[in-house]
Structure 1
Amino acid sequence: MQKNKILHIIKSLGRGGAEMLLPETMKLHNTSKFEFHTIYFLPWKNQMVEALESAGGKVSCFSATNNLKLMQQYSGVIEYCKKNEIDVIHCHLPWAGFLGRLVFAKTKIPVVYSEHNMQERYHIATKTINRFTFNSQSLALGVSEDVTNSIKKNINPKIPLKTLLNGANTDSFRRDPNSGTKTKLKLGIPEDALVIGNVAVFRFQKRLIEWLKVFKEIETKNSNVYGIIVGAGPLEEEIKAELIKLKLEKKVFFPGLKTDVKPYFSAMDIFMMSSSFEGLPIALLEAMSMECAIVSTDAGGIKEVIRNGEDGLTCKVEEWTKLSCLCKVLIEDPEKLSNYKNAARERVLNNFSLRRMVDELEEIYLSVIR
């Protein structure tokens, strides 16, 4: 049987939510029907390459140092598509989307575009290009209802637009208490400590400086509480300066950028997010799958996942200081903490599994080919 060849185009393969989804979905796709290729452009952001190749994907880097040079790679991408007989191009995030639409205009190879963010959060130039080029593709996907509604409001596209909720690989992301204990010991965290954590790219939207301020308030009243923040990014220096300012060097640990975050999730009791805006964060779904109790702002698609008081505890984005009180509720009631850990896992199993997402994606690929 001839396989349907799918080409993912994405700006980088660092450890962001959209990037991490690629190898996870590849593990579940029907490899007797589909063959997957990936093109990325920033050679120094390659943390997901090994995972993609291990999952059976074919990865190529078309090196570009900025967005203009990325767009200049379109002729090479067209040549790649012809040489490898690509059936569908799936683009992720705006600049990959812009390039994919240019390829679509030249070749008419079907292009599917996944939008992970709200249009209102983009730079005015990005929003403008997105608006004027959006219809030069076959189909668009929003990762949450908030994202889809933002596209409708700001672009009003003429092409098909669907919501395809992100998912977590619930078979792969399972809590491992032994791994969690080893992670604590490696970082110097007492085995009986309660751990509050986050996994994030260190960008403005994640508000990790505010996260540290919330943690400081919690830790002042609970000496056996420790923190772990996994990741890296452009605001790393500012965030670590705040860590020193708050005298939390021995209480909050930064293990850096990791391709395998499961040992760190296994060490966390509470996954706390202070984000100002989100699409539908993959790290949140992974944390839930690994039985971390959730305390978060209700930014973007988070409120589509967490039903406050059922699957976790949330507050309004502008009321982020309330996160400390929400954590306190769980810290002081171990039974409630345990219940929210179990509820998080159940919510993902029932509504946000990666298997559901992959099945829907395969139907979408076949529909645009037809």
Structure 2
Amino acid sequence: MLFTRKNYPAGDTAIPVLHIIKSLGRGGAELLLPESLGKHNKEKYDFHYLYFLPWKNQVVREIEQAGGTVVCFPAKNNVQIVLKVRKIVAYVKTHHIQLIHCHLPWAGIVGRLVGRLTGIPVVYTEHNKWERYHRLTYYMNKLSFRSQQYVIAVSGEVARSIKTHYRHEKPGIQVVQNGIDTDKFSLRRPIERDIRKELNIPAHVTVIGIACVFRPQKRLDAWLEIASLVHKKYPDTYFIIAGDGGLRDEMHQKARTLNMKSCVYFAGLQTDIKPWLKAMDIFMMSSEFEGLPIALLEAMSMGCMPACTDAGGIPEVIQDNINGLLVPVNNPLQLADRLTAILPHRDQVEAMKQAARETVVHHFSMQKMVTHLENIYDNLLAKED
């Protein structure tokens, strides 16, 4: 049976909003949730977070500490996720949810079904380009796409991908670029850990790093090959890879094959990435595809010079030779040539570090992103009245 906002108890001051996402591991989309919650108006909105993969729960505590309510409906696969629809409907009714905000395709698919059964408006955030999805995911996402009120794309490139594959006027699509807390990710704030000291890395040498989930699209094998080429020309360069994932053993073996184990440090999964970013001079990404990487924005905010492929929304952040280095996505090894050319010129590196920080502060702040989100929420809820 459908129900509408008229069923909600009168007098509630905070509007209940339910975020639905497949997991709460330490991926970019997942990390946005606790960070954005810290900037939201919690007197106006009461945020709930629902996820399905219980073994990917690394940001649950951060969401709860920021004032969110978190619930897990355990599911082992995408079919089981869809079968949770009735249980989610019951949760929506019990907690008087007035707006559903879904992230990534399978959460979007199930959220749209819940929206149709309850009459609750659904917002969907697309974090990736459609052509990168598995065929089944692609078609299920496309088939259900009309059953939502609004779509947010994290970059212009992602928005263009949606419009290429889904040629309908509705639902409306708006680009809301990812943001980060530039006060939190700042060298001006005291950071107790000194990673360089812990790893015996001299203060004057260059450190090139990355923080990511070990997924195929990150092309960490190419990343290590680039690192090897740079290290052969500049042997006093060090490398840090922070993160974890299914390719961990393969990447460790790749480092051994390249004889890089002495200069590459695998930091593992980190709950606080700031000390590691502080230790880096350059944040390098050799990705095959991206939406708009949160880790990149965090690194730039911490004063790292970015050196990246022009994957996804990255060119919307980096201007080549102004606030970082940019190479074609189909030629990631070109980063080795660009880096070896610029490393002797510390003044240029420092200038791009500063420009990177200024770019994020002025254009990619979390407060700016949250303001856009709340405007979308307000407009959708006003239409329901």
The TM-score, its normalising length taken from structure 2, stands at: 0.94
Choose which of 209, 214, 217 in structure 1 pairs with 2:226. Answer: 214
| Deviation digits for residues 150-188 of structure 1 (CA, Å, limit 9, x no counterpart) | 111101232111111111110111126974871122234
Distance 1:362 1:329 in 2: 45
The question of 1:3 aligning with 2:20 is answered no
Deviation (angstroms), 1:124: 1.0
Q: Is the 8 A contact 1:6 1:37 kept in 2?
A: yes
Deviation (angstroms), 1:193: 2.5
Distance 2:189 2:267 in 1: 19
Alignment match, 1:276? 288
Q: Is the 8 A contact 2:24 2:59 kept in 1?
A: yes
The question of 1:56 aligning with 2:67 is answered yes
Query: Secondary structure of the residue that 1:8 maps to in structure 2?
Result: strand
AA in 2 matched with 1:44: W
The question of 1:126 aligning with 2:129 is answered no
Choose which of 317, 322, 337 in structure 1 pairs with 2:329. Answer: 317
Of residues 187-196 and 241-250 in structure 1, the stretch that sits farther from structure 2 once superposed is 187-196
**For residues 1-370 of structure 1, what are the structure 2 equivalents within 5 Å?**
2-157=13-168, 158-175=170-187, 179=191, 182-370=194-382
AA in 2 matched with 1:59: V
Where structure 1 has 5 or more consecutive residues not aligned to the other structure, the ranges are none
Give the number of equivalent residue pairs.
370
Q: Is the 8 A contact 1:175 1:265 kept in 2?
A: no
Q: Is the 8 A contact 2:233 2:340 kept in 1?
A: no
AA in 2 matched with 1:324: A
Distance 2:61 2:353 in 1: 31
Q: Is the 8 A contact 1:180 1:267 kept in 2?
A: no
Query: Secondary structure of the residue that 1:103 maps to in structure 2?
Result: helix
Distance 1:164 1:3 in 2: 24
Q: Is the 8 A contact 2:64 2:70 kept in 1?
A: yes
Distance 1:179 1:193 in 2: 20
Q: Is the 8 A contact 2:106 2:141 kept in 1?
A: no
AA in 2 matched with 1:24: E
Query: Secondary structure of the residue that 1:173 maps to in structure 2?
Result: coil
Runs of 4+ in 1 over 3 A off after TM superposition: 176-181
Query: Secondary structure of the residue that 2:54 maps to in structure 1?
Result: coil
Distance 1:52 1:31 in 2: 13
Taking a change above 3 Å as real, the CA distance of residues 38 and 51 of structure 1, as seen in their structure-2 partners, is same
Query: Secondary structure of the residue that 1:320 maps to in structure 2?
Result: coil
Q: Is the 8 A contact 1:180 1:265 kept in 2?
A: no
Of residues 130-139 and 168-177 in structure 1, the stretch that sits farther from structure 2 once superposed is 168-177
AA in 2 matched with 1:350: H
Q: Is the 8 A contact 1:180 1:268 kept in 2?
A: no
Identity %: 46
Q: Is the 8 A contact 1:179 1:267 kept in 2?
A: no
Distance 2:321 2:185 in 1: 23
AA in 1 matched with 2:140: I
Distance 1:149 1:332 in 2: 39
Of residues 51-60 and 152-161 in structure 1, the stretch that sits farther from structure 2 once superposed is 152-161
Of residues 175-184 and 252-261 in structure 1, the stretch that sits farther from structure 2 once superposed is 175-184
Q: Is the 8 A contact 1:181 1:267 kept in 2?
A: no
Alignment match, 2:3? none
The TM-score, its normalising length taken from structure 1, stands at: 0.97
Distance 1:87 1:177 in 2: 38
Distance 1:35 1:328 in 2: 50
Q: Is the 8 A contact 1:180 1:266 kept in 2?
A: no
Query: Secondary structure of the residue that 2:229 maps to in structure 1?
Result: helix
